[in-house]
């Protein structure tokens, strides 16, 4: 009996010890596992943080001269990257979703002859419209530098099918040689494989730095209005009806007297000039739409005749001559109240005589 009890006791004991050790091991394993995950996450976060840091440095030395130290772009030079539109944030998305839902409901209500509901919906739609108008009004300074509230998503507009990461990385790697036709300096290629100076890991670091500007749902209208330049959309030059597209450009160093001789041989078309001036190829309106940035389009011709030509410097000038010189040699004269050096100085090599004549003809219609 005594021996029996002893064995039982011992087995109890063993089971207990076994169970306790098993549980202890499980707790230990679990504890290590949890900590390992946290450790890995911390490691990855640290790795990304270091990559972003290296990216920031490379951005400062390679990109900031065109895209701005803060990534908000430079007027007439390069578009912003710290930019809600590049990250696809649509400030009007919520309002537009409500408008769509209500419009569908309205069609159904109308089909059922439910005039009360239709009237109700119309009131709501009008309210949403005024909310939308109010928001768009707040975006005015962004609109002045190229933002289009109706086309808020850069990648969607471009029909880009992949991720933003790949967009940034590949644009950087291969550059945009064609952007020469619509920016003073094209976006250069940076990958060593394409003749640039950056290794793949460096391109990755800069990409991480740029993606780090994403604010998710927290983008504000202030962020939008802080952008100095939005992307511009080239239209296929072949579709611009200039008549003289294949002609050589006016030339950077061509004197104003020679330019006037060249202009005498062509006839300007104000309709085409309107497209050139207000379109994206030259982007004139991008600046001239806002009186804060550049002399406004409206009344240009009136000011030329009544104010500019009275300046002693322009004694003997015709209005056309003043315009031709303002466009091709902006350094010759700075309109009072505006900054010198903002108006691009390279239109001489970007426009043909025909295009210059077209734009002058268009500006002459601004005589109100
Ligand atoms: C010489 C000026 C210049 C420099 C330097 C430059 N860029 Fe650009 N970049 C441009 C221009 C101009 C565009 C617009 C091209 C276009 O619209 O096709 C552009 C476009 C881009 C775009 C695409 C933006 C969009 O909305 O389409 C990205 C991304 C970009 N640059 C990143 C960089 C990075 C990163 C660097 C530094 C490694 C850099 N750029 C250096 C001039 C420059
Ligand atoms: C990046 C901004 C910018 C762009 C793009 C731009 N301009 Fe200007 N423009 C200015 C500024 C700023 C002034 C006033 C300062 C000065 O005289 O240089 C000016 C002055 C002028 C003037 C003189 C206006 C006056 O009231 O006397 C004319 C004309 C003109 N621009 C035409 C054009 C045309 C045409 C284009 C496109 C082919 C163009 N600009 C593109 C910024 C711009």
Inform me whether the pLDDT recorded for 245 exceeds 60. no
- C-alpha dihedral (187, 191, 196, 199), degrees to nearest 10: 130
Nearest atom of ligand 1 to the alpha carbon of 62? 37
pLDDT value at 242 more than 60: no
Encode pLDDT of 47-94 as tens digits: 999 999 999 999 999 999 999 999 999 988 999 999 999 999 999 999
Give the chain's mean pLDDT: 89
Separation of alpha carbons 311 and 104, rounded Å? 61
In this prediction, residue 229 carries a pLDDT of 93
Question: Higher-confidence residue: 146 or 290?
Answer: 146
Question: What would you report as the CA-atom Rg of the chain, rounded to the nearest whole angstrom?
Answer: 32
> In whole angstroms, what is the distance from residue 276 CA to residue 29 CA?
70
Length of the chain in terms of residues written: 368
In this predicted model, what pLDDT tens digit does every residue of 298-327 receive, in sequence order? Answer: 999 999 999 999 999 999 999 999 999 999
Q: How far apart are CA 66 and CA 80, in angstroms?
A: 9
Among residues 159, 155, 191, which one has the least CA distance to residue 173? 191
Region for 147 from its dihedrals, namely left if φ exceeds 0, alpha if ψ lies in -120 to 50, beta otherwise: beta
Cα dihedral 325, 143, 296, 277, rounded to 10, equals 40
Percent of the chain at pLDDT > 90 equals: 62
**Cα gap 209→212, rounded to integer Å:** 5
State in Å: Cα 300 to ligand 1 middle.
32
Residues in the ligand 1 pocket, defined by CB under 6 Å? 62-63, 65-67, 78-79, 81, 86, 154, 168, 171-172, 176, 179, 183, 185, 187-188, 190, 206, 231
- CA–centroid distance, 292 to ligand 1, in Å, is 25
**Residues with Cβ < 8 Å from 90, sequence gap 6 or more?**
96, 152, 153
The answer to whether 52 touches 208, Cβ cutoff 8 Å, is yes
Q: Find the 2 Cα to ligand 2 centroid distance in Å.
A: 110
Q: Please tell me which of 33-37, 44-48, 324-328, 336-340 the model is most confident about, judged by mean pLDDT.
A: 324-328
Residue whose C-alpha is closest to residue 144's, from 229, 221, 233: 229
Answer yes or no: are the C-beta atoms of 363 and 259 closer than 8 Å: no
Rounded Cα–Cα distance for residues 238 and 242 (Å): 9
CA of residue 326 to ligand 2 center, whole Å: 7
Check whether 253 has a pLDDT greater than 50: yes
Residue 239: its pLDDT value, please?
39
pLDDT at 1: 53
CA 313, chain centre distance (Å)? 39
Question: Which one of 22-31, 132-141, 161-170 scores highest in mean pLDDT?
Answer: 132-141
Highest mean pLDDT pick, 23-27, 35-39, 158-162: 23-27
How many beta carbons lie within 10 A of that of residue 10, not counting itself? 10
Residue ID of nearest Cα to ligand 2 atom 16: 334
What is the average pLDDT across 131-135?
96
Q: How far is the CA of 88 from the centre of ligand 2 (A)?
A: 31
Mutate to test the pocket of ligand 1, among 72, 73, 78, 151 (most ligand atoms within 8 A of CB): 78
Does residue 197 surpass a pLDDT of 50?
A: yes
Tell me how far CA of residue 319 lies from CA of 246, 277, 365, in angstroms.
Answer: 27, 18, 12
Task: Find out whether the beta carbon of 279 lies less than 6 Å from any atom of ligand 2.
Answer: no
Which pLDDT value is given to residue 128?
Answer: 97
């Amino acid at each position: 009996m005594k021996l029996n009890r002893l064995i039982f006791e011992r087995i109890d004991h063993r089971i207990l010890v076994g169970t306790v050790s098993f549980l202890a091991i499980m707790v230990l394993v679990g504890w290590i596992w949890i900590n390992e995950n946290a450790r890995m996450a911390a490691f990855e976060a640290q790795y990304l943080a270091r990559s972003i840091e290296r990216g920031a440095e490379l951005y400062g030395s390679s990109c900031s001269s065109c895209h701005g130290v803060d990534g908000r772009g430079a007027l007439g030079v390069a578009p912003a990257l710290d930019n809600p539109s590049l990250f696809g944030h649509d400030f009007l998305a919520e309002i537009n979703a409500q408008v769509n839902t209500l419009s569908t409901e309205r069609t159904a209500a109308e089909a059922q002859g439910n005039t009360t509901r239709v009237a109700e919906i119309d009131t709501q739609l009008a309210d949403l419209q005024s909310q939308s108008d109010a928001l768009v009004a707040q975006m005015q300074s962004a609109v002045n530098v190229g933002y289009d509230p109706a086309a808020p998503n850069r990648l969607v507009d471009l029909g880009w099918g992949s991720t933003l990461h790949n967009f940034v990385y590949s644009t950087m790697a291969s550059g945009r040689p064609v952007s020469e036709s619509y920016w003073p300096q094209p976006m250069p290629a940076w990958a060593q494989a394409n003749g640039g100076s950056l290794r793949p890991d460096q391109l990755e670091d800069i990409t991480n730095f740029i993606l780090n500007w994403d604010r998710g749902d927290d983008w504000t209208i202030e962020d939008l209005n802080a952008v100095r330049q939005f992307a511009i959309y080239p239209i296929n030059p072949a579709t611009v009806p200039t008549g003289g597209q294949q002609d050589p450009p006016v030339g950077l160093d061509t004197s104003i007297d020679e330019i006037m001789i060249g202009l005498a041989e062509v006839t300007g078309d104000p309709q085409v000039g309107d497209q050139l001036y207000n379109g994206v190829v030259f982007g004139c309106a991008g600046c001239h739409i806002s009186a804060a940035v550049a002399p406004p389009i409206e009344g240009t011709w009136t000011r030329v005749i009544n104010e500019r030509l009275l300046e002693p410097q322009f004694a003997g000038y015709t209005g056309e001559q003043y315009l031709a010189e303002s466009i091709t040699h902006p350094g010759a004269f700075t309109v009072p109240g505006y900054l010198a050096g903002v108006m691009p100085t390279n239109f001489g090599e970007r426009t043909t005589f025909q295009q210059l004549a077209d734009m002058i003809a268009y500006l002459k219609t601004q005589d109100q």
